[in-house]
Amino acid sequence: MRKIFCFFAAMLLCLPMMQGAIKVHTIGDSTMAEYDESTTDKRGWGMYLGSFFDPAYVTVNNKGKSGADTRGFYTGAAYWPALKSQMHAGDYLLIQFAHNDEGTVTYGMDNLEYAAYCQEHGLPAPTDARGTNPQTTYRDMLRAFIDEAREMGVTPVLVGPICRAYFQGNDIKRNGKHDLGDKFSKIENGVLYENQSLPAGDSTMSYVKAMKIVAAEKNVPFIDMTEATRQIYLSYGETQCLNLLFCAGDKTHTNAMGGNLIARAAADSLKSAGILADYISIPTDIAATPNAIEIGETYTGVAQNKEFLLTGYGLEPKSGTVTLTATANLQISLDKESYASTANAAYSGGSMFQKIYVRANYTEGGEQRDTIYAVSGEHTIVVPVSANALSLDGGAAVSATWTIDAKPVADAVVEGPISAAFTMSHMIAADTKSDATGADGEQTTVVRFHNADDTGAKTAWPATEIDENPDRYVDFAIMAPATMEVRITKIYMEIGAYSTAAMKCHVNTGFGDGFTEVKTIYEAATVALPSIGPKDGNPGSPMNIVDVTSSLAIPAGETLHVRVLPWHENASGNGKYICLKNVQIEGMAFEPTEGLESVQHSVFSIQKIVRNGQLLIIRDGKIYNAQGQILGDE
């Protein structure tokens, strides 16, 4: 037994040199993007892809972005230019776009071409810069990603966009497969033609066909996830597909089960194509996704909520129970309500899909290492959990508050050694209303914000948007002083809609002028914001309360942006507003200290061994018992 232990220990000494030697970078839209488990049930498939690679050799850097089309991702300072600085020779790049390339104002057109047409004909300029033509711009942007990746020694792979769950009998509709042949717009000889159509066999307006053509032209692998997801959806049937795989009321964005199944299919397709095949494993037993939880920086006394999935297909025996146990700083739950250090998850029918909710709360500062064990018969799954806990003791309290009850919006009331700013992009503070319903149910005065053009003039909302427009937002910024770091502990606001019941929004955080490290902290996307204005003599609904316990840290001299990005799902129109009230950002300021680097992107080396009948874990050079206690160095 000691020889086995020494062999494992020797192998682990080599792991740090091998770990994550290859990075797989993923770029795309909201169907691939990262989401906060405590904010929404939406899950991009890119969140789960890394679980199908051997982490000792391959890590996934998921850069899918909500609302992105190919051109917006390529030109956005926080996206393609920033990602290029993270890519190195030997890496891989998976490219999946189309959902937003199809456009929201005119379908299948290059938006810049349409903007020029509007200017020439004295029409309002479009405020949504998304939209490419599959014959021209879309292909050009795919070529740009491919060429620039290859120049860096990175291997590009084109990935067909996942289907929308647009069922038509026993198939997916043409536009669900990203072929706009049934309805598109075009400009010919200076004339705009709308509601155009093509015969069923004509793929001129198919983004998937366009991607295949570029793949063949550039000799780039093409992974047909459009067809793969079509097959997945049809295997469930319309009702089960929408109920089990998609967010409520949404036929585009998947939940955890849908995202996991698509990631599994993507990994299987990559393996079949011989792309990183030696490092891809499709589990045949119960597995955890992700296989490690990396919280990164957090604060002592501030609970952090995470989740992972237990999945298994074609299991033997066909029914059973998985016993879960968490170590000291963790509690787990199967229903997101009752938390304890242990839980039992049952499965049947040879399949398991169980979401495990994890709550971490640290009382001491420093790097934290905990473990969740899942035992099914003789099979043990180990999920390591890491964090870097920072103390809030000894800091100077800071806050910025915008009441937002008058036009123009007044400057924030600031306390402590910070500064604050309010800005808008493609939005206008249109007017005030004193008959809205506040979050407390009482009548209140609010500012109504509306869509605006490049000059700041009020203009109609585009019709049938399904996601955020990254160029349209209301922004609240906090600037840390040059000599102090600011640790944000709370972000609060009240938010609602006026004169509409179809207003959607994200609240995102990001840093600096490039709005980098974007994170969605609140989402009203599958359910619209409450309409707070009176209707038919009845008071409106109370505004929603956004109250986020944060662990964001603003480095000295840097800026944190809290950005509200609204969109309107129904028909185009002018009299539709989003309203904000009582925006508060709070935290503590500290002199900069060493040792606060985030461990969020670290990769674990982990090995299970049994010695003298006891399960032991070797991780990061130390030996742990099943209770998470350190027994010694390896």
- DSSP for 75-106? H-TTTHHHHHTT--TT-EEEE---TTTT-SSS
| Category of 41 on φ-ψ map: left (φ > 0), alpha (ψ -120 to 50) or beta | alpha
* Angle 402-458-103 from CA coordinates, rounded to 5°: 105
Whole-angstrom CA distances from 179 to 131, 182, 310, 466, 523 are: 14, 8, 35, 17, 29
- Copy the structure tokens of residue 10: 């020797």
Tell me, what DSSP letter sits at residue 612?
T
The torsion angles phi and psi of 52, rounded to 5 degrees, stand at -100, 0
pLDDT confidence of residue 595: 39
pLDDT confidence of residue 23: 97
More confident residue, 94 or 55: 94
Report the run of H or E that residue 13 belongs to, with start and end: helix 2-18
Every domain range in the chain assigned CATH 2.60.40.2310: 287-391+624-633
As to burial, measured by CB atoms within 10 angstroms (0-12 exposed, 13-18 middle, 19+ buried), residue 176 is buried
Angle between helices 225-236 and 256-272 (to 10 degrees): 130
**Architecture in CATH for domain 287-391+624-633:** Sandwich (2.60)
Per-residue confidence band for 381, with pLDDT thresholds at 50, 70 and 90? very high
Lowest mean pLDDT among 2-11, 23-32, 405-414, 454-463: 2-11
d(CA 377, CA 399): 52
pLDDT for residue 188 is more than 80: yes
pLDDT for residue 436 is more than 80: yes
Q: What is the mean pLDDT of the chain?
A: 89
Q: In a 3-state reduction of DSSP, which class is residue 296?
A: strand
pLDDT digits over 259-289, tens only?
Answer: 999 999 999 999 999 999 999 999 989 999 9
Report the run of H or E that residue 568 belongs to, with start and end: strand 559-568
- Copy the structure tokens of residue 374: 């899942």
| Category of 32 on φ-ψ map: left (φ > 0), alpha (ψ -120 to 50) or beta | alpha
d(CA 533, CA 438): 10
Q: Which of 320-329, 462-471, 511-520 has the highest mean pLDDT?
A: 320-329
Task: Characterize the bridge pairing of strands 191-196 and 577-590.
Answer: unpaired
Residue whose tokens read 């609060």: 492
- Closest alpha carbon to 488 in 392, 619, 349: 392
pLDDT confidence of residue 18: 45
Neighbouring residues of 176: CB distance < 8 A, sequence distance ≥ 6: 163, 164, 165, 166, 167, 168, 251
Neighbouring residues of 16: CB distance < 8 A, sequence distance ≥ 6: 605
pLDDT for residue 484 is more than 50: yes
Sequence-separated contacts (24+) of 443-446 with Cβ below 8 Å: 443/539, 444/405, 444/581, 445/405, 445/406, 446/404, 446/405, 446/496, 446/498, 446/532, 446/543, 446/579, 446/580, 446/581
SS3 sequence of 202-270: CCCCEHHHHHHHHHHHHCCCEECHHHHHHHHHHHHCHHHHHHHHECCCCCCCECHHHHHHHHHHHHHHH
d(CA 377, CA 316): 11
198 half-sphere exposure, CB direction, 13 A CA radius: 16
| For residues 178-186, average pLDDT | 97
Lowest mean pLDDT among 15-24, 245-254, 401-410: 15-24
Neighbouring residues of 27: CB distance < 8 A, sequence distance ≥ 6: 63, 64, 65, 73, 79, 80, 83, 93, 94, 95, 96, 97, 145
pLDDT digits over 341-359, tens only?
Answer: 999 999 999 999 999 999 9
Per DSSP (E only), the strands in 482-543 are 485-498, 503-511, 516-524
Rounded (10°) CA dihedral 66, 72, 74, 79 = -40
Residue whose tokens read 């047909």: 224
Percent of the chain with pLDDT over 90: 76
pLDDT confidence of residue 596: 39
pLDDT for residue 629 is more than 80: no
Fold classification of 20-279 is: Rossmann fold (3.40.50)
pLDDT for residue 14 is more than 60: no
Sign of the CA dihedral 617, 622, 627, 628? negative
Is residue 124 reached through a cis peptide bond, with omega within 30 degrees of 0 on the bond before it?
Answer: no
Report the run of H or E that residue 325 belongs to, with start and end: strand 320-326
Percent of the chain with pLDDT over 70: 90
Every domain range in the chain assigned CATH 3.40.50.1110: 20-279
CATH of domain 396-590: 2.60.120
Q: In sequence order, what DSSP letters do the residues of 394-451 get, joined into one string?
A: TPEEEEEEE---SSSPPPPEEESS-EEEEEEESEEEEEEEEEEE-TTSSEEEEEEEEE
Neighbouring residues of 507: CB distance < 8 A, sequence distance ≥ 6: 491, 493, 495, 520, 521, 522, 523, 546, 562, 563, 564, 565
Neighbouring residues of 81: CB distance < 8 A, sequence distance ≥ 6: none
| Category of 414 on φ-ψ map: left (φ > 0), alpha (ψ -120 to 50) or beta | beta
More confident residue, 618 or 92: 92
Q: In a 3-state reduction of DSSP, which class is residue 165?
A: coil
pLDDT confidence of residue 573: 74
386 half-sphere exposure, CB direction, 13 A CA radius: 16
d(CA 517, CA 63): 10
More confident residue, 217 or 106: 217
User: Cβ(211)–Cβ(158) under 8 Å?
Assistant: yes
Residue whose tokens read 């029918």: 349
Whole-angstrom CA distances from 605 to 8, 384, 608 are: 11, 10, 10
- Closest alpha carbon to 225 in 278, 280, 291, 157: 157
